C-alpha cells in the first residue's frame, strides 16, 4: 500500500487556483521531496493531506484513509511539522517533549521511553533543562522533528524544515531525516531549495500549483538532459548567454554564478563537437572563453530546464 495517494487534488481560494489538479503517490518508507518555489502550493497541499483544510475537488488517501471522510483516522496516523514549527519557547526542551507526548495521548511509560528517544535523536540530552527559545535554529528543528514523531506516526509531513538554517545544520538535518526514514516511516518533506532534492528518494516539482517533474533524482537527470551539458566560463556571461540561447546547438542556457551551463540540443554529432562549435561562436562574437568542458547536470539544471521550457 502506498503511504500517500493523490488524485486530481485541487484547492481554489476564490477564483485563484493554488493547487491545480495534482496526482502522485508516495511509497511507504521513502523520503519524498515536494519541491517548488515560494507560493507554488506546497503548504496548501500539505494542509489538505493532513486534514486541516478541505480540497475544492479531487481526493487523496493518507495511510489508506480518505482525507475527506476519515479525517480523524488520517490525523492519528500522521505527524506534522508546520513551516513555523510549533515549539513553546518558554518551556524547556523536556517540557516541550512532555507537552507533545500528552497531546498525542502517550501513557507515562511510553512517554518516558519516547522522551529519551527524542533527547537522543535531537542531541539535546545534556540540555534537557534549557528553554527551547534559547536553542539555535538547528537544534530547534531537531527538537520540533522529534516532537512531531513522538507518537511514532506512519507518515510525517515536514513543511520546509530546513528554512533559515545554515548549510551545515541543513545537511545534518537531512542525515537525521534519512536515518529516521530507515526505520520504515514515510517522510514527506517540502523545500524551496532545489538542491535539497538530492537527499530525497523521489521528488515532485510543483510550479504554480501544477506538477512539472516527478521521479528519482537520477531519472530526472537522465530524462531531462539527454544530450549532455557544458560548463562555460566566459568573460561576459550575459552576452555569452544571449549567443548561446540563440544557437540551435543549445537546448537551454542558464547562468550559474559567474559561469554558464548549456544543455545541448543533440543537433551535432557529439558533446566535443558542440563544445568546439560553441567556443568558436563565442570567440567570433568577441567573448573570451576561459573554459568550456562537459559537466554532469545538477538537479537545479534539470529544474531550470523543466520550468523554462514550460
Ligand X SMILES: Nc1ncnc2c1ncn2[C@@H]1O[C@H](COP(=O)(O)OP(=O)(O)O)[C@@H](O)[C@H]1O
Binding site for ligand X (CB under 6 A): 13, 18, 36, 38-44
| Euclidean distance between CA atoms 189 and 52, whole angstroms | 17
Query: Quick one: 111 or 299, whose CB is closer to ligand X?
Result: 299
Residue 15, C-beta contacts closer than 8 angstroms, at least 6 positions apart: none
Query: Quick one: 46 or 225, whose CB is closer to ligand X?
Result: 46
Binding partner at 238 among ligand X, Mg ion, none, C-beta below 5 to 8 Å by kind: none
Nearest-approach distance from CB 189 to Mg ion, in angstroms? 12
Per CB under 5 A, does 43 bind Mg ion?
A: yes
Query: Quick one: 44 or 148, whose CB is closer to ligand X?
Result: 44
Binding partner at 247 among ligand X, Mg ion, none, C-beta below 5 to 8 Å by kind: none
| Euclidean distance between CA atoms 114 and 101, whole angstroms | 8
Q: Which stretch binds Mg ion (CB under 5 A): 42-50, 114-122, 170-178, 211-219?
A: 42-50
Q: How many CA atoms lie within 13 A of 238 on its CB side?
A: 0
Residues in the chain: 310
Query: Quick one: 145 or 237, whose CB is closer to Mg ion?
Result: 145
Per CB under 5 A, does 251 bind Mg ion?
A: no
Please give the DSSP secondary-structure letter assigned to residue 121: H
Backbone angles phi, psi at 160, to 5 degrees: 50, 55
Nearest-approach distance from CB 287 to ligand X, in angstroms? 38
Q: Which stretch binds Mg ion (CB under 5 A): 40-48, 122-130, 169-177, 262-270?
A: 40-48
- Asked if 267 and 249 touch (Cβ cutoff 8 Å), the reply is yes
Query: Quick one: 9 or 229, whose CB is closer to ligand X?
Result: 9
Q: Which of 62, 167, 30, 185 is nearest to 121 (CA)?
A: 185
| Euclidean distance between CA atoms 39 and 87, whole angstroms | 24
| Euclidean distance between CA atoms 143 and 85, whole angstroms | 10
What cell numbers appear for 272 in the block?
Answer: 566535443
Per CB under 5 A, does 162 bind Mg ion?
A: no
Nearest-approach distance from CB 270 to Mg ion, in angstroms? 43
| Euclidean distance between CA atoms 222 and 228, whole angstroms | 10
Q: Which stretch binds Mg ion (CB under 5 A): 19-27, 43-51, 114-122, 301-309?
A: 43-51
- Asked if 148 and 79 touch (Cβ cutoff 8 Å), the reply is yes
Query: Quick one: 84 or 293, whose CB is closer to Mg ion?
Result: 84
Binding partner at 39 among ligand X, Mg ion, none, C-beta below 5 to 8 Å by kind: ligand X
Please give the DSSP secondary-structure letter assigned to residue 126: G
Per CB under 5 A, does 181 bind Mg ion?
A: no
Q: Which of 183, 215, 214, 217 is nearest to 199 (CA)?
A: 217
Nearest-approach distance from CB 75 to ligand X, in angstroms? 20
Phi-psi map region of 184: left, alpha, beta (phi>0 left; psi -120 to 50 alpha): left
What cell numbers appear for 202 in the block?
Answer: 523521489
Query: Quick one: 22 or 260, whose CB is closer to ligand X?
Result: 22
Nearest-approach distance from CB 70 to Mg ion, in angstroms? 25
Nearest-approach distance from CB 42 to Mg ion, in angstroms? 5
Binding partner at 213 among Mg ion, ligand X, none, C-beta below 5 to 8 Å by kind: none
| Sites of contact with Mg ion (CB under 5 A) | 42-43
Amino acid at each position: 500500500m502506498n503511504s500517500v495517494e493523490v488524485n486530481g487534488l485541487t484547492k481554489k481560494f476564490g477564483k485563484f487556483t493554488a493547487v491545480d489538479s495534482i496526482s502522485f503517490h508516495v511509497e511507504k518508507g521513502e523520503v519524498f521531496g515536494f519541491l517548488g518555489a515560494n507560493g507554488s502550493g506546497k503548504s496548501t497541499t500539505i494542509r489538505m493531506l493532513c486534514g486541516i483544510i478541505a480540497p475544492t475537488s479531487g481526493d487523496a488517501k493518507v495511510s489508506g484513509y480518505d482525507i475527506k471522510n476519515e479525517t480523524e483516522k488520517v490525523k492519528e496516523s500522521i505527524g506534522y511539522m508546520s513551516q513555523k514549527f510549533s515549539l513553546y519557547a518558554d518551556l524547556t526542551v523536556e517540557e516541550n517533549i512532555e507537552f507533545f507526548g500528552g497531546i498525542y495521548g502517550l501513557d507515562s511509560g511510553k512517554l518516558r521511553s519516547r522522551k529519551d528517544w527524542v533527547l537522543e535523536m535531537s542531541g539535546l540530552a545534556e540540555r534537557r533543562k534549557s528553554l527551547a527559545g534559547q536553542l539555535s535554529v538547528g537544534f530547534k528543528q531537531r527538537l520540533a522533528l522529534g516532537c512531531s514523531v513522538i507518537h511514532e506516526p506512519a507518515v510525517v509531513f515536514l513543511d520546509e524544515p530546513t528554512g533559515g538554517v545554515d548549510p551545515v545544520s541543513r545537511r545534518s538535518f537531512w542525515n537525521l531525516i534519512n536515518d529516521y526514514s530507515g526505520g520504515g516511516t514515510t517522510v514527506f518533506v517540502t523545500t524551496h531549495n532545489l538542491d535539497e532534492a538530492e537527499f530525497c528518494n523521489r521528488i515532485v516539482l510543483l510550479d504554480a500549483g501544477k506538477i512539472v517533474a516527478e521521479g528519482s533524482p537520477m531519472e530526472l537527470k537522465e530524462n531531462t538532459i539527454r544530450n549532455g551539458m557544458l560548463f562555460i566560463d566566459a568573460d561576459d556571461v550575459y552576452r555569452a548567454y544571449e549567443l548561446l540561447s540563440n544557437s540551435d546547438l543549445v537546448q537551454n542556457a542558464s547562468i550559474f554564478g559567474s559561469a554558464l551551463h548549456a544543455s545541448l540540443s543533440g543537433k551535432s554529432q557529439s558533446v566535443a563537437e558542440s563544445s568546439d562549435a560553441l567556443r568558436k561562436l563565442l570567440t567570433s562574437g568577441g567573448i573570451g572563453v576561459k573554459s568550456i568542458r562537459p559537466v554532469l547536470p545538477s538537479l537545479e539544471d534539470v529544474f531550470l530546464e523543466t520550468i523554462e521550457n514550460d
